[in-house]
Structures are given as C-alpha cells and as structure tokens.
Chains A and B, each alone.
Chain A
Amino acid sequence: MALDKNRLLEIFTALVKVRRLEERLVELFTAGEFPGWMHPDLGQEAVGIGVAMNLRPDDYITSTHRSRAVFVGKGIELKSFMAETFAKRDGTCQGRAGEMRFMDIDRGILGYTVTVGAWIPFAVGVAFSCQYRSTDQVSVAFFGDGAVDTGPFHEALNVASVRKLPVLFLCENNGWAQFTPQSLTASVPQISKKAVAYNMPGKTVDGDDVLAVYEAARDAIAYVREGNGPMLLECTTHRWLGHFVGDNQKYRDPDEIKECRKFDPVLRFQNKLLNEGVLTQDKVEDIEAKIKAEIDEAVELARKSEAPDPEEAMKDVYCSPGEGK
C-alpha cells in the first residue's frame, strides 16, 4: 500500500530529526554538558521511527538504553526532553530520569531501568492490562539482540502467546550486545526464528529501510491490535558508534565499523525521495533548518533551566494516600 506524499515527508522529517538530535546529544555529552551515560542510536534510526509512527498516542512502548528514535517517532516534545536529559527540573521526570530512562506517560513511553530484558515482561503486563480492561491498545516491547538471551525474554514470549496478549515484540538486531558480537553468543542468530518456539508469527525485515520497517510494523501492529495474539518482528540494523559515548570499540574490526555507514537509513530514504520527486534539495534544507532551530531552542532552554533542589532527593520515594491515580 503506497504512502501518500505527506506521510512520506513526515517519516523523512522524523528520521532527520532523530539523526540530528542524536548527533547533538553526542556532541553535548562529549563536552560534559549533561551527566550520566549516553548510548547513541546513530545508524539505527529507521527502526524506532518506522515502528513508532504506526502507533496511536494511547499505545504503549517499553524501550532500551538506545531508544531516541522510538521517542521521536512517538512524538515527544524536545524542550522537556532536553531539560530531562540535562537533569533539570523542567524535564518530564523533574530531571531524575535523563535521556536513557526517559518516560512520558502521556505518550505511552513507560520508562526504563537498566537490567537488560527486564522490561519485556513489563510490556507483557501492560498488554495484560489492555486485555483485562478490554481496550484495543497495543503494547510494543523494544529490545536488542542481547536481550533475547535473557530469561525474562523467554518467559515473556511464552506467557504472551499462551494468553494471546496484545504485545508486539520488536527486536532491533544490530549484532552487538555491548562489546560482544552475536557470533559468540547466539545459538540462533536470526531472532525471528525463535517465534515458532512460542507459537507466534515471526518476521525479519531490513531495519535500515524505513519504509520496509514502516510497512512490516503497520501489519504487525494491526495483527496484534485485532486480538490475534503477539508477534515477533526483527529489524536488522547497524550500530555506528560504541555501546556508549566513550567506548572506542577496540573490540570491533575497523573495516566493519566503516562498512556500517553504507547502510545509512537517512541518506537512503532521502535519496529515494529525491529520485521520486517527493523531495527537492531545497525542501531537504528547509526541513534540516527547522529541525536545527528546534534542537537549538531546546538546548538553550535546557542550559538555562534550573536543577532540582537537593532536598528533592527525598521526594516521591513513596506515594501518600490519595496521591495514587
């Protein structure tokens, strides 16, 4: 099903937005402008964008340490995101979560804690809740190829399948779990093959082709939303930088690192749209300029924003009676 021009431009804009956002975050973090860690999404943008742009605002996602593409695809507002990244009180989580543990309940972005694989069962629990409350919301669990080796992954897929829960299991396979390649750890490198063990459909798509991701995700989300049970969708992609900013990737073949850039999902889509006349060079520059302005504004505001008061370290540890929703 062909997408109309406006939709193609929306997808392209989102792709560029996360690319430029991620580049800026790497720059800012390297300059020491925000605390914590930073795990760049560079190279993998088409996966998060292609999937998240098929979701409704009231659909839920669980994320990883490398999920800015999902957040941008879900329509986050950059000012509060950047303030959060800078650990400032105007952030969506009052500066406590940062960009890695980013959470935005209004957009169904549920947050993150760092144990790899832990959020896959949470996404199943969210789907359980949707089924219990008889809504047609969908829960999407994002995770990487490293997470599929964890116990919780296995348990979660089994339960989701046997209870026919409305959850899409979305694997971003970049072939690396931190510093370790899949060749050393995976008995079944093509992750979608595991779906048969859980009696659910599984599919692999080229995660660097944003339209392939978009179409596969659209079908998968529709399948899940219609109550058919869960599905496992694998998007193969490439991680350009190290696991985190500061990781010099000495464990990785330098030629392989260079090769990755050839799969650039943003350039690829841009060239396609230019060739098809959907984009012009002027239009590209226009989009880039608007995105730069938006990011610049968000960064400036974040820099000027206040840090939380130190006493807020003791706030919200518990919920008092009546404070719960």
Chain B
Amino acid sequence: MKELSYVRAINEALREEMARDENVFMIGLDIGLSGGSFTATRGLYEEFGAKRVVDYPIGESSLIGLAIGAAVTGLRPVVEIMFMDFLAVCMDPIINAAAKLRFEFGGQYKAVPLTIRTPIGEHAGADHTQSLEAWFAHIPGLKVVMPSNTYDVKGLLKSSIRDDNPVLFIEHVGLIRMKGEVPEEEYVIPLGKAAVKREGTDVTVVAWGRTINDALSAAQELADNELSVEVIDIRTVSPLDKETILNSVKKTGRVVVAHEAVKMGGFGGEIAAIIAEEAFDYLDAPVKRVGALFAPLSFCPALEDYCLPNKEKLITAIKETVK
C-alpha cells in the first residue's frame, strides 16, 4: 500500500488508463500545458503529448459535442469540465444526445464511451459550488459516479473510463488534499456497487461524496454514546445499488440519507422513496434526510456554513430516528 492524495489518485488513474488504451484521450480547458486547474492532469501532457491531452477553447457545449463525435467513431474521450456548475452550459449534448444514442438508434452504436470528469467547488460562491447529481440521475442512459475518498476515486475513475456508457464522474475540490491508502498494484472498483464504510446495528446512514466524511465522524462520536451507526457509501448514484441499502435498512430499521446537495429535490428523496416503497415494514422510524438548505450557497463563509450539512446536523438527524 502507498499513501496518495485524492488528486494524485485521479492523476494515477488517468495515467494508467491512457497507457493501457491508445484510444483514450483527454480534453478540456487548461488540462494540457498547465496540468489542470486543480492539478489533476499534471504531467500527462508531457508524458502523452498534445495529440492525446488536448487543450480546448472555452466552449463546454462544443467540447462535449466533439467528445461525442469522437466516442462514436472509435475513441474513448475523458472530458474535464472545470466546475460542475458549468454542466449547465452543455446540458443539451449530454442529456439529449450522449444519454440517448445507444437506445435511439437501436443499438447500432454499441457504445458511447464518454467519461465526463467534473468537480464540485467549495468556498467559491453560488455558481461555483453546486452539487447537481440529481439532475443527471434522472436521465436514463447516463451513469453518475461520486467517489468520497482516495481509494474509491482511483478505482472508480478507471472503471468509468473503461465503461462503454456515458459516465458523469463527480469529484470534489474540497477533497483534493485528502490522503488515503491505495494498493501498489492495479485495481478497479465496479460501478453500481455501494460499500459499507462502517458497520453498525442501530441506525443506517446512506451518504455519498464529501458527506461520507461527516457521516463517519458522526458515527465515531455517537459510538461513544453507545449508538451504533452503519454508514453506506453508495459510490455510484446511477445505477443505484438498492440491495446494499435495503439490506442495511432491514438490519437497523432506522435511516438517515445525507448529501451535500440541496435537500429539496435532491437524490436523497429518491432513496427515501425507494426505502418507503420496498422496506416499509422494516422501518421503526420515518426516513430522515440531511441536505443543504434551499438557498444559493454564498462565498461568504458564515452563510455557506449555515447552509451546508455537517457532522452536527447529521448527529441531530441520527438522534431523531431513535427518539
């Protein structure tokens, strides 16, 4: 095992997949000569050259469009969209084309092997910090992956690039320096599989992305109060691993679903509804959700902190399920 930061793990995954398959190429703003806004692609231009690490002009709409055209004619593009908020600029090719080409043309396109990497921002203002996975989970034909730590980000990114479907791979600026252990040897993590990050018996917390860290801290603190919390990291938002979630709910009977995204209309609502539909008889308390408050996230730290979920809000929610 070796210790790596989250962003170096992304870099390693990219390097390994570029070396493994010459049809994999990277394209985005500032990813080549300057190694990426968050250094995720550092060194790759020098190693693989301008043909395979492409600096693109500002224009996310045509960036995705070009990647789609390349993806259906033999290549495997890995696109970087600098901030998740900018997906709003290129929604049309993602949801109206990439997600639908395989279906629409009766499988004549065997695959649209497009990977879109994009980070959620932090401390950067309302239009630079949104967590929008719910938008894309709503679109049949897309896969949505949201790793929470160094080990997962590397294994999941490799799988995403190898997946023949369009995959939205959601990173987080706030996790860039997070350290973690990864194996020396190559490994992949399959998409569509959740992971039990902490075993417990009293309450299930289902979370993903950066919120997993709050969930694990909350679980640790509550353990001292003799409350045993199980933490499920869904890892892939779509396709969702319902089985792992429901098995945990059947064991504990109490659930908190937590995410960084705004609670209203967030993907937590979908998971809560699934639990109500498929595990109602096992519930000893209503499903609780934790998410950001329904307001834009200011760059002003006090306002941002007020809105975002954190360990304390999670602890409060967990305790409410056992009241």
Which of B51, B64, B72 gathers the greatest number of chain A CB atoms within 10 Å? B72
Which of B1-9, B91-99, B264-272 is the interface stretch? B91-99
Report the minimum CB–CB distance from A105 to chain B (whole Å): 5
Cα A92 to Cα B105 with chains together (Å): 8
Question: Closest A-chain residue to B76, C-beta based?
Answer: A324
Question: B75 to chain A: which residues have CB within 8 Å?
Answer: 128-129, 132-133
Q: Is there an interface contact between B105 and A118, defined as CB atoms closer than 8 Å?
A: no
Q: Is there an interface contact between A132 and B70, defined as CB atoms closer than 8 Å?
A: yes
- Point out the residue from A95, A118, A325 that lies within 8 Å of B97, measured CB to CB: A118
Question: B110 to chain A: which residues have CB within 8 Å?
Answer: 319, 323-325
Cα A152 to Cα B140 with chains together (Å): 24
B101 at the interface (CB under 8 A from A): yes
Q: Is there an interface contact between B141 and A113, defined as CB atoms closer than 8 Å?
A: no
Question: B65 to chain A: which residues have CB within 8 Å?
Answer: 118-122, 124-125, 152, 156
Cα A155 to Cα B60 with chains together (Å): 9
Cα A258 to Cα B190 with chains together (Å): 62
Report the contact-size class of chain B (Cβ under 8 Å from the partner): 35 or more
Question: A119 to chain B: which residues have CB within 8 Å?
Answer: 65
Q: B68-83: which have CB < 8 Å to A?
A: 68-75
Question: Closest B-chain residue to A316, C-beta based?
Answer: B107
Which of A5-13, A96-104, A292-300 is the interface stretch? A96-104
A254 at the interface (CB under 8 A from B): no
A94 at the interface (CB under 8 A from B): yes
- Point out the residue from B64, B73, B103, B105 that lies within 8 Å of A126, measured CB to CB: B73
Question: B64 to chain A: which residues have CB within 8 Å?
Answer: 121
Cα A123 to Cα B67 with chains together (Å): 10
Question: A126 to chain B: which residues have CB within 8 Å?
Answer: 69-70, 72-73
Q: Is there an interface contact between A103 and B164, defined as CB atoms closer than 8 Å?
A: no
Given contacts A113-B96, A317-B140, A132 and B25 within 8 Å (CB-CB): yes
Cα A321 to Cα B188 with chains together (Å): 14
Q: Is there an interface contact between B105 and A111, defined as CB atoms closer than 8 Å?
A: yes
Question: A151 to chain B: which residues have CB within 8 Å?
Answer: 59, 61-62
Given contacts A94-B106, A318-B102, A125 and B113 within 8 Å (CB-CB): no
Q: A195-251: which have CB < 8 Å to B?
A: none
Given contacts A113-B97, A121-B93, A93 and B108 within 8 Å (CB-CB): yes
Cα A101 to Cα B105 with chains together (Å): 8
B111 at the interface (CB under 8 A from A): yes
- Point out the residue from A111, A115, A162, A321 that lies within 8 Å of B57, measured CB to CB: A162
Question: A130 to chain B: which residues have CB within 8 Å?
Answer: 73
Q: Is there an interface contact between A122 and B102, defined as CB atoms closer than 8 Å?
A: no
Q: Is there an interface contact between B104 and A97, defined as CB atoms closer than 8 Å?
A: yes
The contact string, 1 if C-beta is below 8 Å from chain B, for chain A 181-194, is: 00000000000000
Question: A319 to chain B: which residues have CB within 8 Å?
Answer: 102, 110-112, 164-165
Q: Is there an interface contact between A323 and B164, defined as CB atoms closer than 8 Å?
A: yes
A159 at the interface (CB under 8 A from B): yes
Report the minimum CB–CB distance from A298 to chain B (whole Å): 18
Report the minimum CB–CB distance from A245 to chain B (whole Å): 22
Question: A104 to chain B: which residues have CB within 8 Å?
Answer: 108
Q: Is there an interface contact between A115 and B106, defined as CB atoms closer than 8 Å?
A: no
Question: B140 to chain A: which residues have CB within 8 Å?
Answer: 317
Question: A162 to chain B: which residues have CB within 8 Å?
Answer: 57
Question: A81 to chain B: which residues have CB within 8 Å?
Answer: none
- Point out the residue from B59, B97, B163, B239 that lies within 8 Å of A122, measured CB to CB: B97
Closest 3 CB pairs of A and B: A125-B69, A121-B65, A324-B164
**A–B pairs, 21, beta carbons within 8 Å:** A92-B108, A97-B105, A101-B104, A111-B108, A115-B96, A118-B96, A121-B61, A121-B63, A121-B69, A122-B65, A122-B69, A132-B75, A151-B61, A158-B57, A159-B56, A315-B107, A316-B106, A317-B103, A318-B143, A319-B112, A325-B111
